[in-house]
Amino acid sequence: MKLETFFEKFDQFADAPDAVAKMRELVLEFAVQGKLVPQDPNDEPAAELIARIENTKEEQIRQRMIKRVAVDPNPIGDACESLPPGWLWTRLGNTFDVRDGTHDTPKYTIEGFPLITSKNISSGSLLFDGASLISEVDHRQISERSRVDRGDILFAMIGSIGNPVIVDTDREFSIKNVALFKFYAAADSEPRFLLLYLKHVAEEMKAKAAGGVQSFVSLGFLRNYLFPLPPLAEQRRIVAKVDELMALCDRLEAQQQEREARHAVLARASLARFADAPNPATLRFLFHPSYAISPADLRKVILTLAVQGKLVPQDPNDEPADELVARLEQERARMASEQGVRPPKNVPQLTADSYPHDIPESWQWRRIGHLALVIDYGTSQKADNDSSKVPVYRMGNIVGGRLVNENLKYVDASIDDLPGLYLKTDDILFNRTNSYELVGKAGIYTGPDDTATFASYLIRVRLPKTLLFPPFYSVAMNAPYYRQTQIEPEVVQQCGQANFNGTKLASTVVPVPPLAEQRRIVAKVDQLMALVDELETQLGVSRATAANLLSALVAELTT
């Protein structure tokens, strides 16, 4: 298969991750392997080119224009890949004048000459913005070692190794921790081919770099690095072909970006359509490739519609929330008196200015502390891996709004915290600490009563199940509004960790629909979330198929 045919098949694997980036990598790989353009037997062989370069270098050494540098004199041998006819394996230091800039830090000045470091070439272009300035004396001293001229190539040696650029300015500047590739004779060089090669091998060089915290490549490493030298005429044909194919990659990338922009507009319109008709048929419509709406965004929309009263219709025959709340207050008072249940205390009264958004007339807003029977912290007892004991849910067990039974720890049933901290079915667990992203994650316990407990980094919310449907409140506590308006404004940083305590949790605000509607909402959420899971799996299969096709085409090209 020709590389052009590969480009023609782009639409078949466009959904594969980093499809255009892979195409760019292939172009570079083919370029430096001699597979991009045909060889011409009339070209001067690379052996004659390198001999002429050696003569030029020796003459410059004789005239004391440059100094002789050490390059590994040993034969390269047969370890390298075979090259096309007319090509030659050599070392960078034999073909180019490879130097480096200063490794010291000169004194910075208000005016003077720019000192270019790796950060000034990290974008793939030479940028002077943000460059420190040094005095003319320091600049002249550095330039004695590494004078930079137009057409030279710079290459970062420390940290972000690579990012080669061709110098395209006559402005004077110095370099620090940057390699400099100069050419012995302009007539015998094609700087852009060397640029292609350095781009291609940058990742390989990084993998071979020395250093711990900050990796680096030495000047000797670069001078001895192997380099496939094509005939000069072929170098120029390769560069022209790369320019052509990279321009095609640019157009494909621009088309993708334009398509994604159109899809974003369609996605907003489609989400609005889903808000008006949140049913499975509309959800399947949203997963069409033309809309490119992520499953995560769809889940957020489903939860948002659920807590806004837009997921299922209201039923005028349902008991209104105000009557439900009145019965709830009586029941909590009775349980406090007869059973010793102690609901949260000192929960502030709720006013209309604290309502997060509009809700149906039959609903009410309430603070969780006015609904819960119990809000308490988990056990701080040290847990172990003995699965014969009582399982302990920890913050890592709350994933995607659910409790997962993976990587559980265990405590002895005889600890003082039990039986008081045994979980009951439909208890809600809330993560109160750790990273900013993890604080506020909530999940509902669906296991049997009195068989598991929870760790002190979690807060339990227990609701009266005869009057409220706890799965609805798990939905509400995972809805975007809850994190954005109830959690994030109150999170504090303590000892490097984000924290949110039980008092604040009791003050958070949740909607209270009629009990029958709470059940209908959760049923609809479960139905739609299961469909999203199914469609996400299908989407993953589709993308995997595209990635496999891309891999197969690449394999066919490179075989």
Strands laid side by side in the 390-393 sheet: 409-411, 390-393, 453-454
The CATH fold assigned to 44-230 is Adenine-n6-DNA-methyltransferase TaqI; Chain A, domain 2 (3.90.220)
DSSP string, 411-452: E-TTSTTTTTT---TT-EEEE-EESTTTTT-EEE--S-TTS-
C-alpha to C-alpha distances, 541 to 52, 221, 527, nearest whole angstrom: 56, 44, 22
Distance of CA 555 to the CA centre of its chain: 27
Do β-strands 492-494 and 497-499 pair in parallel, antiparallel, or remain unpaired? antiparallel
Beta-strand ranges (E) seen in 169-236 are: 174-175, 178-182, 226-229
Cα-to-chain-centroid distance, residue 258: 22
The Cβ-side half-sphere exposure at 26, using a 13 Å CA radius, reads 22
Q: What are the tokens at 300?
A: 């957020």
Task: For the chain, give the number of residues.
Answer: 559
108 three-state secondary structure: strand
What pLDDT score was predicted for residue 21?
A: 83
3-state secondary structure of 546: helix
- In sequence order, the β-bridge partners of residue 442 are 430
Determine the Cα–Cα distance for residues 373 and 344; give it in Å rounded to an integer: 7
Residue 249's pLDDT is 84
Full strand arrangement of the beta sheet holding 497-499? 433-434, 497-499, 492-494
Quote the pLDDT of residue 208.
86
Distance from C-alpha of 153 to C-alpha of 151, rounded to nearest angstrom: 7
d(CA 162, CA 373): 61
N- to C-terminal Cα separation, the chain:
10
CA–CA separation, 368 and 365 (whole Å):
10
SS (H, E, C) 223-251: HCCEEEECCHHHHHHHHHHHHHHHHHHHH
Which of 25, 27, 32, 20 is closest to 249 using CA atoms?
A: 20
Q: Phi first, then psi: what are they for 535, rounded to 5°?
A: -70, -35
The strand pairing partners of 91, in sequence order, are 226
Q: What is the dihedral of CA 45, 51, 54, 60, to 10 degrees?
A: -100
How is the chain split into domains, by residue range? Answer: 1-36+236-314+514-559, 44-230, 321-513
Let me know: does 460 contact 423? Beta carbons within 8 Å. Answer: yes
What's the token pair of residue 559?
Answer: 């075989």
Give SS3 for 42.
coil
What DSSP character marks residue 260?
Answer: H
| CA 529 to chain centroid | 24
Tokens at residue 338, please? 């007869």
In 268-373, at which residue ranges do the beta strands (DSSP E only) sit?
364-367
The rounded distance, in Å, linking the Cα atoms of 270 and 411 is 49
pLDDT tens per residue, the chain (559 residues)? 466 666 666 666 666 667 788 888 888 988 998 988 899 999 999 999 999 999 999 999 999 888 888 888 887 866 577 889 999 999 999 999 999 989 888 999 999 999 999 999 988 899 998 899 999 999 999 998 899 999 999 999 988 889 999 999 999 999 999 999 999 988 899 999 999 999 999 999 988 888 767 788 899 999 999 999 999 999 999 999 999 888 888 888 887 777 767 766 666 666 667 766 676 766 666 665 555 567 888 888 889 999 999 889 999 999 999 999 999 988 888 877 776 667 788 888 988 888 999 999 999 999 999 999 999 999 999 999 999 999 999 999 999 888 999 999 999 999 999 999 999 999 999 999 888 788 999 999 999 999 999 999 999 999 999 999 999 999 999 999 999 999 999 888 877 788 999 999 999 999 999 999 999 999 999 998 888 888 778 777 777 766 666 666 666 655 5
Cβ-Cβ contacts under 8 Å for 397 (sequence gap 6 or more): 403, 404, 405, 406, 407, 408, 443
**Half-sphere exposure (CA, 13 Å, Cβ side) for 525?**
27
DSSP-based three-state secondary structure for 64: coil
- Reported pTM: 0.60
CATH topology of domain 321-513: Adenine-n6-DNA-methyltransferase TaqI; Chain A, domain 2 (3.90.220)
CB atoms within 10 A of CB 152: 20
Residue 319 token pair: 């008991």
Two domains, one topology: 44-230 and 321-513: yes
How far does CA 325 lie from the centroid of its chain? 45
Burial 232-241 (b: 16+ CB within 10 A, else e): bebbebbbeb
CA distances to 272, 296, 298, 539, 559 from 278, in Å = 10, 16, 11, 20, 50
28 CB neighbour count, 10 Å cutoff: 18
∠ CA(260), CA(265), CA(268), 5° rounding?
Answer: 120
Q: Are the C-beta atoms of residues 439 and 387 closer than 8 Å to each other?
A: no
The alpha carbon of residue 262 and the mean position of all alpha carbons in its chain are separated, in whole angstroms, by 23
Instruction: Give the span between the Cα atoms of 136 and 480, in whole angstroms.
Output: 58
